[in-house]
Structure 1
Amino acid sequence: MRRLLLLLFLAHPFWCLAQEKDLVQYANPLIGTHKMGHTYPGATVPFGMVQLSPETDTIPYEVDGRYNPTVYKYCAGYQYDDATIVGFSHTHFSGTGHSDLGDFLLMPTEGKLQMNPGTEDNPESGFRSAFSHEKEQAAPNYYQVFLEDDGINAELTTSNRVGFHQYTFPESSEAHIILDMMYGIYNYQDKNVWTFIRVENDTLVTGFRQTRGWARTRTMYFAMTFSKPFKEYGTKDYSKKQVYKGFWRKFDPSKNFPEIAGEQLRMHFDFDTEEGEKIKIKFALSPVSTNNALENLNAEIPHWDFEKAKKEGQRLWQKEFEKIKVETSKAEDMVNFYTAMYHTFLGPTTYMDVNGQYKGLDQNIHQAKGFTNYTTFSLWDTYRALHPFFNIIQPKRNADMVQSMLAHYDQSVHKMLPVWSHHANENWCMIGYHSVSVIADAVIKGNAGFDANKALEACVVTANYRKYDGLGYYIDLGYVPEDKNSSSVSKTLEYAYDDFCIAQMAKKLGREDIFQKFSKRAENWKNVYDASIGYMRPKLSDGSFRKEFDLLSTHGQGYIEGNAWNYSLYVPHDPATMIEMMGGKKKFVKHLDSLFTMELPDEFFAHTEDITREGIIGNYVHGNEPAHHAAYLYNWTDQPWKTQERVRMILKKQYQATPDGLGGNDDCGQMSAWYIFSSLGFYPVAPGSDQYAFGSPAVEKASLQLGNGKTFEVEAIHQNDKNVYVKKIELNGKTLNRHYLTHSEIANGGKLTFYMSARPKK
């Protein structure tokens, strides 16, 4: 008996390890790939530089010289209802409403060589292949699909900077790998500026691609190595002007010629294969050079063991998922929760080589010292919930992201913090200067792993850059006039919120002068409120409100990605004053009720492809971000129980464990971050403050690892689909008689307990 007990004791730690729950199994990358979620299903590691994913069509940006609206569907390159795959490329955005990237497409084929992708209607005319979802798998850091036309099984995995392909061929003397340097998402005519390919030997190929897409000038380098020597290779140049055609008749550059350059190139690499033979390819990226790409390759995946690379990447995902361990009563909720975590950890993406080098906004090579440099900052979306989520769960990464923003500022000729930046470019998409929200939120919450005073200076300079998007008018008049600058109401409201963030950061850092100045600017939202109608309204430069005005329209009314109903609620930093100005709590509740229950006319959906009925509840547009905080505003009224009701309703209607389970673009993780916060029972209505508004938790238990060695637990007693109302909240055993939680209460660790009920506590 003693021997048995000893053996059990010694085995206990290993038993615990074996019983550790596999959380990777719950994340489903196919969620959001149908309709307007705009997510991609392919392989990547957390915050990875490589996003290796299938492309299901080649959509031109223009048709007959006019914008092709179909291109909007393909922001991530993949649509779940498509029937063919044209290849696998190495860079993707997740959930955006605009597109770029899609670099370096590879496609395995068998049989007669075809160098054109063909069309969906006539797939046999090119190298694309039919596929079915029955023979497709997607998991964190793994994607598999059977290419039916060629009888090839394709498998993908990655490290941070390297894509790893494994293609299982049939027996053939005509096996090919196509390298398409032309393909690109957002593929308008002449997107490629220049491409270069160098065949170093019979297993190693290097090169680069320079494009002008959403990023005005972007260069990505690569190093590609094969597990087996190719027997032949060739090039097809589709450039309008073949500069080196015939190389002055000294060479035939189309066959076995080792250095090829041009605007529109495709290459093929040919093999003999046996039945079931696997040809593997490692494809490394670098923003700096082919030498760095090769260094990335050798450092990250020096072997040819596909399963090993897959498992190493999935261990990284498991490590990230373990930062929040939840218990739910339904398996579907586990899938939704960990898929949301998966989507939040896809970006921002790493943008530097293993040696710390990266290309900066000034197009020069820089060295990241003491931080990881990131790119893909969709800040108009992600300042709301994604970065506040990182401040709790990913504090070190978020501090590095701020460092990356400050590096962007240093390299900017405008001396502006990023607005929407990616791959050493500022594309200026959307409005506001929401870097300051991200920075202020980090400072306020004690996560300033950077020079906070330098960051404050950068925020102030950015907020005073008069040339930027109506900001000069805003500084002079206290609002943006619609007759001088469009989307004026949205800009005024968002500038005012950002100014609040600067004021709070200045207060934290003891800069009273800046605090006073920007506290005053933060009240500018009042200048576009029209008390006669009870809504925010565009104002003209002469001080009058514009007469022609439609409360429901999303176009030409002074707003962007929203209407007067949604944007009139956008004063996240001062809801109490906003509610008072709108007639008081009782009247405001009726207004908010109407937002969620009214019926919109069909004309509302007729004029824009980015608003769908799936993303709308009443007139509340969850598929776009301006009103993401709206359901939580009942907490500032006498009916906070309606926040609990609305939040649970949104969670249920807008998030399902299906390919079409997202009610709008995931927007680089913002939609998913909303889900995570709301499932846990609290939400950052105003990042830059230290408060989170309470909602209604949809999990039964959660354990959050905070990055500071402490744990914060959430428990919802008697929580289910009917018990959505909060009867009582306790923090560390003591009852909370308020509608918010502070960041320090989370950061200090402890336990938050919700007691749930089927009846609202009025």
Structure 2
Amino acid sequence: MTSRIFLSTILSCICCSLFAQENVLSYVKPITGTQRMGHTYPGATVPFGMVQLSPETDTLSYEMNGKYNPDVYKYCAGYQYEDKTIVGFSHTHFSGTGHSDLGDFLIMPTTGTLQLNPGTADHPESGYRSRFSHSTEVAEPAYYKVKLEDDGILAELTASNRVGFHQYTFPASDQSHIILDFMSGIYNYPNKNVWTFVRVENDTLVTGFRQTSGWARTRIEYFAMVFSKPFKEYGHRNYTNDVYKGFYRKFDQTKNFPEMAGRQIRAWFDFNTTAGEKIKIKFAISPVSTEGALKNLRAEIPGWDFDQVKQEGQALWTKELNKVHIESGSREEKENFYTAMYHAFINPTTYMDVDGQYRGLDMNNHTANGYTNYTTFSLWDTYRALHPLFNIVQPKRNADMIQSMINHYDQSVQHMLPIWSHYANENWCMIGYHSVSVIADAIMKGNAPFDANKALDVCVTTARHRNYDGLGYYMDMGYVPEDKNGSSVSKTLEYAYDDWCIAQVAKKLGRTDIYEEFIKRSNNYKNVYDKTIGFMRPRLNDGTFKAAFDPLQTHDQGFIEGNAWNYSLYVPHNPDDMIAMMGGKKQFTQHLDSLFTMELPDKYFAETEDITRDGIIGNYVHGNEPSHHVAYLYNWTGYPWKTQERIRMILKKMYHPGPDGLGGNDDCGQMSAWYIFSSLGFYPVCPGSDQYSLGSPAVDKATLQLENGKTFIIDVKNQGDKNVYVQKVLLNGKALDRLYITHSEIMNGGNITFFMGPKAKK
């Protein structure tokens, strides 16, 4: 215990010595993005933590009456701000995704007659669900609190990396219960629960595992659960139709029987409580074993001091958030910024026990020696800004994440880097092979404490995988034909960019043959451009362009999460050639202007994957990632002031510190990373390059505390809502005569000064 107090004190002192005058935690609003499409969760977690302990406001089945239930999309993170009831608190969640899984091990405290069904939102009294009010709800980094009104129970949650810590304050009752629901989960597919095993070790300790087959086809999560007070009795209800009872029929398994097994199980634990009595639960998880879960529990939270664990978790957040210290006269700006940093530092998540063991893609156990193994790689989203941000402020973690990706490749029977992976599973969600971009960005920026040549080899093998998603056609024909493989234009463009990334690394490492192969492939974007209409357009297997084509539509037009207006701007590795191809700077600028100002007819919203107008400005779709670099493209046309104008407009329209404060899915931190970069005044238009394109900073000043011990300061003169235009820029006191800064200029420390004004400097 003494060592934990000492650690907490050291962490707090480090943070205080940096910026003693300000509590950055007060600016973080975990509730931001919990309404509408943000898909964030408000519960307790630590930076990159394996446990995300958060309330569920509903648990819906993926299918309703045998058909897809569209309402499940709202509950990717388990929580929707508009809801009036809470079903319980589970231990695993995605942050900001447009698809989901998880929601493991739901716990709900209740009093009165035991009810084992969750009830309904309209009639919570019909089950263990409870009404709640936002007036009693508190959401902070590493802490969540709410009053469960139906039973008069105060629920408080905190967490360490691998352990969730519950504290429930009960009324006086001889019928107090803790319900442990193994049937509940997010995106409950038919037959998602494969098997559950529970073992009551004694009157305070319960262990077991849950195996599911959902978005992740084969996922096993082990747990160890400890109560602060012995339960007086316990039991379970097994809803499994095909449960094999065998010799166990000699026992009454439903009550006080120490083993439970089946596909669908809910368990309960009964207590007598006095008024104001706190029952605490420590719930550790492990990808490997119940023994691993117990080791995690004993190592991370050996005692029962809830407030101490909360303080330690918040000290970890304070340390991470202070890696970028901003000054601003606007509290809203500080709340937006530090909430964005909070969301950016949730994923990817730790995926190993305290002894380094983790479950691999091959379903065998492995040990991470000298690094942290991570999971939750939403790479189609996060390669754009989140991982480039990590290369500046989290370089050690980013290198470990890349090592985790290479481990994934080594364990993959397909010999592929991760596409969208979590919990020892590959989901194959979205397109491209953007692990390549993340690896290339790190190598090109000098953050590669791993075998760079091996990393290049696995990138090349991934990119030559002919059986993957149209790649064989792409390699043979220079494009993906739409009549052979859908979303063909998006795939062609994204493959071409990833191939450019491979070429850059090969050039740096002196691998000339690989460079020549992939620099040629990186030009394949030209093969899907139709100069007769001025848009990227799907081509067919016979070489012709698709006849029936509408550049405003998404579905069946060769694109994914975007249309031709947006994807025609996706050549991040060669914007100069893209601009020339599309008619030159003047015509290209008109295209950009129209993208932001046009009115998209209502009929097209039914054709997009955005569902609503959330995240859309004109036909610019900020809520979908393929457009995230677009506003910066004016820097290549001679109109940088339009980049500055657009950036500040997007910052205002798409982000604010409220429940509906995100204009689209946060996508594991990508939306938030865009905000962080753009608020600081620069953005990685092309990860894999060492350049960051300049924009219009929204902060008064920012100090980046770099892991190499240096600081990089961004100073903004004449900041204001109307002063969005950059008049001049000084880098280390000298005039900057270009529209970008380099990674080394940041990492070497120093300062950049923006002088702002109300009129565009054309």
- Aligned residue runs from structure 1 range 210-249, under 5 A: 210-244=211-245, 247-249=247-249
Provide the rounded CA distance (Å) in 1 between the counterparts of 2:144 and 2:159: 10
| Paired residues for 1:472-621 under 5 Å | 472-608=472-608, 610-621=610-621
For 1:430 and 1:104, locate their aligned partners in 2 and report how far apart those are by CA, in whole Å: 28
Following TM superposition, by how much is the alpha carbon of 1:507 offset from its aligned partner in structure 2, in angstroms?
1.1
Residue 517 of structure 1: how far off its partner (Å):
1.2
Residues in 2 aligned to 1:298 and 1:549: alpha-carbon distance in whole angstroms: 61
CA distance 1:583–1:609, shift in 2 (3 Å):
closer
What residue in structure 1 maps to residue 119 of structure 2?
118
Q: TM-score, normalized by length of structure 2?
A: 0.97
Deviation at 1:523, TM superposition (A): 0.3
- The alpha-carbon deviation at position 612 of structure 1 amounts to 2.3
| CA-CA distance at 1:705 after TM superposition | 1.1
- 1:615 deviates by 0.6
Partner of 1:174: 175
Shift of 1:371: 1.0
SS of match in other structure, 2:164: strand
Partner of 2:335: 335
- Tell me the equivalent position of 1:400: 400
2: CA distance, partners of 1:643 / 1:14 = 35
Aligned-pair distance for 1:513? 1.4
Q: Runs of 5+ in structure 1 lacking a partner?
A: 1-11
Shift of 1:618: 0.3
Distance 1:518 1:562 in 2: 26
Could you tell me whether the CA contact under 8 Å between 2:716 and 2:755 is conserved in 1?
Answer: yes
Partner of 1:101: helix, strand, or coil? Answer: coil
Length-normalised TM-score, structure 1:
0.97
Q: 2:60 matched to which residue of 1?
A: 59
Amino acid at match of 2:163: V
Check conservation: 1:46, 1:345, Cα contact below 8 A. Answer: yes
**Counterpart code for 2:647:** V
Query: In structure 2, what residue type is equivalent to 1:332?
Result: E
**Which residue is equivalent to 1:727?**
727
Deviations 1:464-508 (A, max 9, x none): 000000000000000000010000000000000000000011111
> Is the Cα contact below 8 Å between 2:45 and 2:161 reproduced in 1?
yes
1:6 corresponding residue in structure 2: none
Shift in Å, 1:554: 1.2
Task: List per-residue Cα deviations over 1:542-561 (Å, max 9, x = no partner).
Answer: 11101010110111100000
Matches of 2:417 and 2:516 in 1, distance apart? 22
Q: State whether structure 2 residue 299 is matched by structure 1 residue 295.
A: no
Match of 2:634 in 1: 634
Q: CA deviation at 1:611?
A: 3.8
| Correspondence 1:677-716 to 2 at 5 A | 677-716=677-716
Q: Could you tell me how far apart the structure 2 residues matched to 1:19 and 1:709 are?
A: 19
Using the TM superposition, give the Cα deviation of residue 20 of structure 1 relative to its aligned residue in structure 2, in angstroms.
3.8
Query: How many angstroms apart in 2 are the aligned matches of 1:268 and 1:189?
Result: 24
Give the Å deviation of 1:229.
0.1
- 1:611–1:623: 8 Å Cα contact kept in structure 2? no
Distance 1:704 1:214 in 2: 38
Alignment partners' CA distance in 1, 2:74 and 2:591 = 34
CA distance in 1, matches of 2:20, 2:398: 31
**In 2 relative to 1, CA 551–240 (structure 1 residues): closer, same or farther, beyond 3 Å?**
same
- In the alignment, the residues of structure 2 paired with residue 217 and residue 18 of structure 1 have an alpha-carbon distance, to the nearest angstrom, of 45
- Per the alignment, in what secondary structure is the counterpart of residue 555 of structure 1? coil
8 Å CA contact 2:37, 2:665 repeated in 1: yes
Say how many residue pairs are matched.
750
Task: Give the equivalent residue in structure 2 for 1:44.
Answer: 45
What SS does the corresponding residue of 1:362 show, helix, strand or coil?
A: coil
CA contact (8 A) 2:715 2:753 kept: yes
Question: What is the CA-CA distance between 1:19 and the residue it aligns to?
Answer: 3.4
Give how far 1:58 is off.
1.6
Question: What amino acid maps onto 1:713 in structure 2?
Answer: I
**Within-5 A mapping of 1:144-183:** 144-183=145-184
Contact 2:103 2:186 in 1 (8 A): yes
- Give the C-alpha shift of residue 242 in structure 1: 2.5
Post-superposition offset of 1:521: 0.5
1:13 positional shift: 12
Percent identity, aligned pairs only? Answer: 73
| Aligned counterparts of 2:609 and 2:484: Cα–Cα separation in 1 | 27
Q: Which residue of 2 aligns with 1:276?
A: 276
Question: Structure 1 residues 308, 529: CA separation in 2 closer, same or farther (over 3 Å shift)?
Answer: same
Distance 1:65-1:15 versus aligned 2 partners, 3 A rule? closer
Contact 1:681 1:698 in 2 (8 A): yes
Taking the aligned partners of 2:304 and 2:16, their CA distance within structure 1 comes to 32
**Which runs of 4 or more aligned residues in structure 1 lie more than 6 Å from their structure 2 counterparts after TM superposition?**
12-18
What is residue 258 of structure 2 aligned with on the other side?
258
How is 1:403-414 mapped onto 2 (pairs within 5 angstroms)? 403-414=403-414
**Superposition map of 1:75-474 within 5 A:** 75-244=76-245, 247-474=247-474
SS in 1 for 2:223: strand
Using the alignment, how far apart are the partners of 1:621 and 1:677 within structure 2? 18
Q: Any conservation in 1 of the 2:352–2:358 contact (CA below 8 Å)?
A: yes
- Specify the code of the residue in structure 1 equivalent to 2:184: Y
**Structure 1 residue 249 displacement after superposition:** 2.9
Q: What amino acid is aligned across from residue 287 of structure 1 in structure 2?
A: P
Q: Is the 8 A contact 1:54 1:86 kept in 2?
A: yes
Aligned pair in 2 of structure 1 residues 102, 15: CA closer, same or farther (>3 Å)? closer
Q: Aligned to 2:279, what secondary structure does the other structure show? A: strand
User: How far apart are residue 610 of structure 1 and its match?
Assistant: 3.1
Q: 1:15/1:605 Cα in 2 relative to 1: closer, same or farther (>3 Å)?
A: closer
Question: 1:322 Cα deviation (Å)?
Answer: 0.8
Alpha-carbon distance in structure 1 between the residues aligned to 2:60 and 2:518: 46
Query: Which AA in structure 2 matches 1:38?
Result: H
The verdict on how the C-alpha distance between 1:23 and 1:503 changes in structure 2, with shifts beyond 3 A counting, is same
After superposition, what is the alpha-carbon deviation per residue over 1:332-382, rounded to whole angstroms, capped at 9, x for unaligned? 110000000000000100000000000000000001111100000000000
- Closer, same or farther: CA 13–396 of 1 in aligned 2, 3 Å: closer
Once the two structures are TM-superposed, the CA of residue 248 in structure 1 deviates from its matched residue by 4.8
- Distance in 2 (CA, whole Å) between partners of 1:76 and 1:608 is 22
Q: 1:226 to 1:13 in 2, by over 3 A?
A: closer
Alignment check: 8 A CA contact 1:723 1:759 kept? yes
Contact conserved, 1:44 with 1:52, CA < 8 A, in 2?
Answer: yes
Aligned counterparts of 2:638 and 2:273: Cα–Cα separation in 1: 72
User: 2:752 — aligned with what?
Assistant: 752
Change (3 A) 1:611 1:620: farther
- Partner Cα distance (1:15, 1:177) in 2: 39
Deviation at 1:17, TM superposition (A): 7.8
Report the Cα distance in structure 2 between the residues aligned to 1:16 and 1:290, rounded to whole angstroms.
40
Q: Residues 528 and 218 of structure 1: is their aligned pair in 2 closer, same or farther, counting only changes over 3 Å?
A: same
* CA drift at 1:609: 5.6
| TM-fit CA distance, 1:16 | 6.3
C-alpha displacement of 1:126 = 0.1
- Structure 1 distance, partners of 2:537, 2:611, is 22
The alpha carbon displacement at 1:276 in A equals 0.2
Alignment partners' CA distance in 2, 1:14 and 1:290: 35
Q: Output the CA distance in 2 between the equivalents of 1:723 and 1:597.
A: 22
For residues 85-105 of structure 1, give each alpha carbon's deviation from its aligned partner in whole angstroms, at most 9, with x where no partner exists: 000000000000001000000
Query: Is the CA contact (8 Å cut-off) linking 2:417 and 2:433 kept in structure 1?
Result: yes
State the match for 2:8 in structure 1.
Answer: none
Indicate the SS of the match to 2:89. strand
CA distance in 2, matches of 1:593, 1:103: 46
Classify 1:333/1:238 alpha carbon distance in 2 versus 1 (closer, same or farther; 3 Å): same
Distance 1:544 1:204 in 2: 67
CA distance in 2, matches of 1:535, 1:581: 10
